[in-house]
Amino acid sequence: MPALNHLIIPAKNKDASAIFLADILGVEAGPQWGPFRPVQTSNGVTLDFVDSPDVRTSHYAFLVEDKEFDTAFAKIKAAGVRYYADPHKHEPGKINHHWGGRGVYFDDPDGHLMELITKPYGSSPP
| All domains of the chain in start order, with CATH | 6-50+57-117 (3.10.180.10)
pLDDT at 126: 54
For 10-35, what is the mean pLDDT?
98
Q: How many whole angstroms separate alpha carbon 19 and alpha carbon 9?
A: 13
State yes or no: pLDDT of 123 exceeds 80.
no
Within the chain, how many helices (H) and strands (E) appear? 2, 7
Count Cα atoms within 13 angstroms, Cβ side, for 83. Answer: 22
Task: Report yes or no: 112 and 20 within 8 Å, Cβ to Cβ.
Answer: no
Q: How many whole angstroms separate alpha carbon 24 and alpha carbon 1?
A: 30
pLDDT at 93: 98
User: What digits encode the pLDDT tens for the residues 50-61?
Assistant: 999 999 999 999
pLDDT at 125: 61
User: What digits encode the pLDDT tens for the residues 43-83?
Assistant: 999 999 999 999 999 999 999 999 999 999 999 999 999 99
